[in-house]
Amino acid sequence: MSGAFEAFRAFVQSLAAAGWLPPSLAYGFIVNALVAGLIVGPVLGSLGTLVVVKRHAFFSEAVGHAALTGVALGILVGEPYSGPYGALFGYCLLFGIALNYLRNRTGLSADTLIGVALSMSLALGASVLLVLAGKINIHILENVLFGSVLTVTGADIAILAVVGACVLALTFGFYNRFMLASFNAELAAVRGVPVKALDYLFVILVTVVTVASVKIIGAILVGALLVIPAAAARTVATSLRGFLRLSMLFATLSAIVGVIAPMELDIPVPSGAAIILTAGSLFLLAALARATLPRLRGQSA
């Protein structure tokens, strides 16, 4: 896989050097970030449709913010600054599963539990980071918070590709059952759909893809790429199939533009912020289209 990726990267760089592609793609780290964006876009776009339908936007944001604590704990136990994936995946999975468990057992609303857990998680992360303040470079934290095209390595892309393939396979494999359980849990249970098991699977999928995407989008903003493209797609889509396709398209387009535009236009904006600003612009255009085009009014996926 490494050899194939190196060959692909060299091919893209040669096209950029010949003028067939944007000049910024002559740099290897930009190609790395672009490939990561091409993986992240379809994965977050497809999963985002479920996030919007299930009204779990706050949960995806909470997992993204919890990634900061995961990074802090990883550095504390000696993982490399550039990729503390063990603590990231471990802590965020524990965070997400514990939230879902408590939601089912306490009877409290999801937003109340998320507010409590997120506050405690951020307090823990801030405390650990203060302990580590003299040992780490502050720019590492900036990259974790807002994403950076400079930090995406071949290993990050490999992890993202494996996670993305697994998440897509499970999302499409259980998509109809996810949707049925989201719209009518009682009916889904009557039809033999394991609603609670699907809830835990959904939580795990959102968590792992959020953690895998942190490097390019950032912990603060990664949840937004789950929500905004899907929200834009639902605004203009007239069917569930169109909803899914448009969400994947919007998320992928946002990732591509967000990675390349700052380099091409020489704008000092982190990749995560550029990606989310692009997605936000697409949402505004979709909302404007729905408000002005008669055939879209009153229709929804």
Assigned domain for 286 exists:
no
Residue 150: exposed, middle, or buried by beta-carbon count in 10 A (0-12, 13-18, 19+)?
middle
Task: Kindly state the tokens that stand for 104.
Answer: 């089912």
Assigned domain for 282 exists:
no
Note the pLDDT of residue 73.
83
Note the helical H segments in 55-109: 57-76, 85-106
Task: Tell me how far CA of residue 145 lies from CA of 33, 44, 139, 242, 255, in angstroms.
Answer: 16, 18, 10, 32, 17
The answer to whether 13 and 20 have CB atoms below 8 angstroms apart is no
According to DSSP, residue 134 is labeled: T
The answer to whether 62 and 119 have CB atoms below 8 angstroms apart is no
Assigned domain for 47 exists:
yes
Note the pLDDT of residue 110.
76
Note the pLDDT of residue 150.
67
Q: Residue for token digits 């009877």?
A: 107
pLDDT per residue, tens digit, the chain (301 aa), is 566 777 778 888 888 888 888 888 888 888 888 888 888 889 999 999 988 888 887 787 788 778 878 887 887 887 776 667 788 888 888 888 888 888 878 777 777 888 888 888 888 877 887 777 666 666 666 666 666 766 777 778 888 889 889 999 999 989 888 888 888 888 888 888 888 888 889 889 988 888 888 777 777 777 788 899 999 999 988 888 889 999 999 999 998 898 888 888 888 887 778 888 999 999 999 999 888 876 665 565 6
Note the pLDDT of residue 169.
93
What contacts 16, CB < 8 A, 6 or more positions away?
Answer: 22, 23, 24, 25, 26
CATH number at residue 153: 1.10.3470.10
Assigned domain for 19 exists:
no
Domain count, the chain: 1
Amino acid symbol at 290? R
What contacts 185, CB < 8 A, 6 or more positions away?
Answer: 195
Assigned domain for 277 exists:
no
Q: State the residue range of the domain holding 57.
A: 25-219
Assigned domain for 300 exists:
no
pTM of the model: 0.86
To the nearest 10°, the Cα dihedral for 73, 78, 81, 85? Answer: -60
Amino acid symbol at 297? R
To the nearest 10°, the Cα dihedral for 218, 41, 62, 233? Answer: 130
Q: Residue for token digits 């299930």?
A: 54
Assigned domain for 243 exists:
no
The answer to whether 232 and 282 have CB atoms below 8 angstroms apart is yes
**CA 136 from centroid of its chain's CA atoms:** 26
Assigned domain for 296 exists:
no
Give, in degrees to the nearest 5, the angle at Cα 162 between 166 and 122. 85
